[in-house]
Structure 1
Amino acid sequence: MRLTYQGPVPEPIGFLLLPRFSMVALFSAIDPLRIANRLAGQPLFRWHLVSRDGEPVTASNGIPLSVEHDLDNAPWLPSLAVCASFEPMAAVDQPLRDWLAQRRAQGACLGALDTGVFCLADAGLIEDTVTLHWESLPEFRRRHPDIEAVESLYEVGPVGFYGAGASASIDLALDTIRRRHGDALTRRVKQQLVHDHRRLPASRQRDASEFERLPERLTRVIGLMDSHLESPLAIAELAAQIGLSERQLERDCQHHLARTPSRLYLERRLALAHHLVTSTRHGVMDIALASGFASASSFTRAFRQHHGASPRELRRRLM
């Protein structure tokens, strides 16, 4: 939610639901606000659910959720989060872009939960550092290389706010409660939520136990790999960019990760491919190219060897 708020209490916060949005991310953002209201003995926050047409929106878990407003009748909201998950661009068109741009022009702080950031980026409405669910991060970086996207729990900037989804939305809401109403109330809300007190905004989303004690040079290599999944760099070039010889990099990877740099790179490309196969409607050739493969046949062969099924077979299983 926005950095500061000086308006009347309860503070209104809006959530625009796109089809297949993440219900856990939405409820994780709302419930800390509800608990804060109860513990404060007064309504500090009020949340409003919006859909394009005012009709219920079906979440990614198949459950439809009723809303209060359609786009034409939604009240002015100082903070408005776009909530999405799978296929975030499927419902985005020019009228929606125009509506969001109009809200920004009226002074609203626009944010996103999970993959809603794709919608804001497509509309040209991002000026801050953003975060989103780690699975979608490589695809976002590929589509929007000029936007700084990081793997953190949440980001709050001068004109936008972004939560990575799922339980990270709790951290974003707790940050809002702390900035508005202090540490004491925030601690009480955390206790009610039985929430880990040690999570910081820049905490990584994933359990990084395999990588958490790596030498800094190897974390830099992995970062370079993740930034060049579509057009993979040669291993010699990766090594040169961090000041190692190719043989030194090979030894480091074998010692710390029990695999070669080439194998590590392939695994990260195929992880992106798995996400695109299971979470988008992109064709096999498009996914192959996005994952750094020159042909559909070589991509399908590598995908089957790593994931145990071809891309098409995996999609059929999920239908």
Structure 2
Amino acid sequence: MRLQPSDTLPERIGFLLLPRFAMVAFFSAIEPLRIANRIDGRPLFRWDVISRDGEPVVASNGMTLIASGSLHTAPQVPSLAVCASFDPESAIDGELIDWLRARAYEGCVLGGIDTGCYALAAAGLLDDKTVTLHWECLADFSTRFPRVDVVESIYEVTDEGFSCAGGSAAIDMSLDLIRRRHGDALAKQVRDQLIHEQGRRPASRQRNPAIPQEPMLQRAITLMDDHLESPLSIRALANELGITWRRLDRLFARHLAISPQKTYLARRLDHAYWLLSETPHSIMDISLACGFASASSFSRAFRHHYGSTPSQLRQQAVSNRA
């Protein structure tokens, strides 16, 4: 998952599976790589599965996966992902911490999938770095490791490491790797094979916020939140709900006293506000993640809604943290 490509093919990536790791996240990470190999006709990627003792590892779903090596026999790899899920700290001890620190010293780029960042943070390898992990653990992780900048995003990739929230977010991170290494065309072919609607950007959020309880209105707002990056037209939104756009308009007027168009725009801008305040993503990335075709159109809409530009809000957020 390094930003710089490997000198030779296949590019090797290690996956350290901790007990009760998330099977869905692990498979979501490697399947795009397998498909890329098949489509390209060359072994672009190779993965090594590692466990603490080289023995099979039981995942959180009760299934067992065979490992190809242990901490002591694993090959040197340019990148290594720590895969965990429930109760990640129960697997962390001095031996694991020393091993991770040794890998970092050797120049291996380390990352976490789902809750794998707990092990990296315990080893002191994430101080002053930005990472993400599953939203259920964000508050606990932030309290446990206050020197780590933790954000609720889909995935994070830097020169120093990588992390993703687990689940299907691992697909997006691997698609991003394929795109950076071998181009947009191959990444799109892999995405199509996975029937993955679109590759989400790192700034995409993991979950929907609380929404009103009126059933049809709730469904409408959920659809809006599910399509912040590629906004639906109001007619398309109504079609998805199985109602006319006029009925949709009346629904919003009755319960919110605002049009669905203005509601949709406000939710996109609210998400942008959070990203600008809480994450280091560029304004261009944030504008795309919130469904704007250009930074200029995003800036105009944001200024009209909040009374300040995205750049001004970003500067204020930085000053407040200083």
Give TM-score scaled by structure 1 length: 0.66
Which residue is 2:284 aligned to?
Answer: none
Which residue is 1:73 aligned to?
Answer: 73
Task: Report how far residue 6 of structure 1 moved.
Answer: 3.0
Amino acid in structure 2 at the alignment position of 1:157? T
Amino acid in structure 1 at the alignment position of 2:41? G
Task: Report how far residue 207 of structure 1 moved.
Answer: 2.6
Amino acid in structure 2 at the alignment position of 1:108? C
Task: Label 1:194 to 1:216 Cα distance change in 2 as closer, same or farther (>3 A).
Answer: closer
After superposition, give the CA deviation of every residue in 1:166-201 in whole Å (9 maximum; x if it has no partner).
000000000100000000000100000011215211
Which residue is 2:317 aligned to?
Answer: none
Aligned counterparts of 2:129 and 2:9: Cα–Cα separation in 1:
27
SS in 2 for 1:169: helix
Amino acid in structure 2 at the alignment position of 1:176? L
Contact preservation (8 Å) 1:128, 1:157: no
Task: Label 1:203 to 1:209 Cα distance change in 2 as closer, same or farther (>3 A).
Answer: farther
Aligned counterparts of 1:174 and 1:9: Cα–Cα separation in 2:
18
Task: Report how far residue 69 of structure 1 moved.
Answer: 0.3
Which residue is 1:146 aligned to?
Answer: 147
Which residue is 1:41 aligned to?
Answer: 41
SS in 1 for 2:72: helix
Which residue is 2:96 aligned to?
Answer: 96
Aligned counterparts of 1:196 and 1:144: Cα–Cα separation in 2:
35
Amino acid in structure 1 at the alignment position of 2:172? D
Aligned counterparts of 2:100 and 2:164: Cα–Cα separation in 1:
18
Amino acid in structure 1 at the alignment position of 2:66? S
Aligned counterparts of 1:52 and 1:188: Cα–Cα separation in 2:
35
After superposition, give the CA deviation of every residue in 1:102-124 in whole Å (9 maximum; x if it has no partner).
00000100001000101100100
1:186-201 equivalences in 2 (<5 Å):
186-197=187-198, 199-201=200-202
Which residue is 2:113 aligned to?
Answer: 113
Contact preservation (8 Å) 2:22, 2:84: yes
Aligned counterparts of 1:170 and 1:96: Cα–Cα separation in 2:
27
Task: Report how far residue 84 of structure 1 moved.
Answer: 0.2
My pick for the range that moved more, 142-151 or 163-172, is 142-151
Amino acid in structure 2 at the alignment position of 1:158? D
Aligned counterparts of 1:69 and 1:207: Cα–Cα separation in 2:
39
Aligned counterparts of 1:198 and 1:177: Cα–Cα separation in 2:
11
Aligned counterparts of 2:135 and 2:129: Cα–Cα separation in 1:
18
Which residue is 1:164 aligned to?
Answer: 165
Contact preservation (8 Å) 1:154, 1:161: yes
Which residue is 1:5 aligned to?
Answer: 5
Aligned counterparts of 1:19 and 1:117: Cα–Cα separation in 2:
14
2:129 aligned with 1:128: yes
Aligned counterparts of 1:216 and 1:204: Cα–Cα separation in 2:
12
Task: Report how far residue 209 of structure 1 moved.
Answer: 6.6
- CA RMSD across the alignment: 1.9
Amino acid in structure 1 at the alignment position of 2:136? E
After superposition, give the CA deviation of every residue in 1:70-110 in whole Å (9 maximum; x if it has no partner).
01110001000000000001011011100010000001000
Aligned counterparts of 1:179 and 1:44: Cα–Cα separation in 2:
13
Contact preservation (8 Å) 2:28, 2:168: yes
SS in 1 for 2:6: coil
Point out which structure has higher relative CO (alpha carbons under 8 A, 6+ apart). Answer: 1
Aligned counterparts of 1:42 and 1:134: Cα–Cα separation in 2:
36
SS in 2 for 1:162: strand
Amino acid in structure 2 at the alignment position of 1:55? E
Which residue is 2:61 aligned to?
Answer: 61
Task: Report how far residue 216 of structure 1 moved.
Answer: 4.8
Aligned counterparts of 1:71 and 1:188: Cα–Cα separation in 2:
35
Give TM-score scaled by structure 2 length: 0.66
After superposition, give the CA deviation of every residue in 1:133-159 in whole Å (9 maximum; x if it has no partner).
001111111111221111111000121
Structure 1 runs (4+) greater than 3 angstroms displaced? 211-217
Contact preservation (8 Å) 1:130, 1:161: yes
Contact preservation (8 Å) 1:128, 1:158: no
After superposition, give the CA deviation of every residue in 1:208-247 in whole Å (9 maximum; x if it has no partner).
3729646859x77xx99xxxxxxxxxxxxxxxxxxxxxxx
Amino acid in structure 2 at the alignment position of 1:70? S
The size of the alignment, in residue pairs, is 221
Amino acid in structure 1 at the alignment position of 2:12? P
Gaps of at least 5 residues in structure 2 are 212-220, 226-265, 279-322
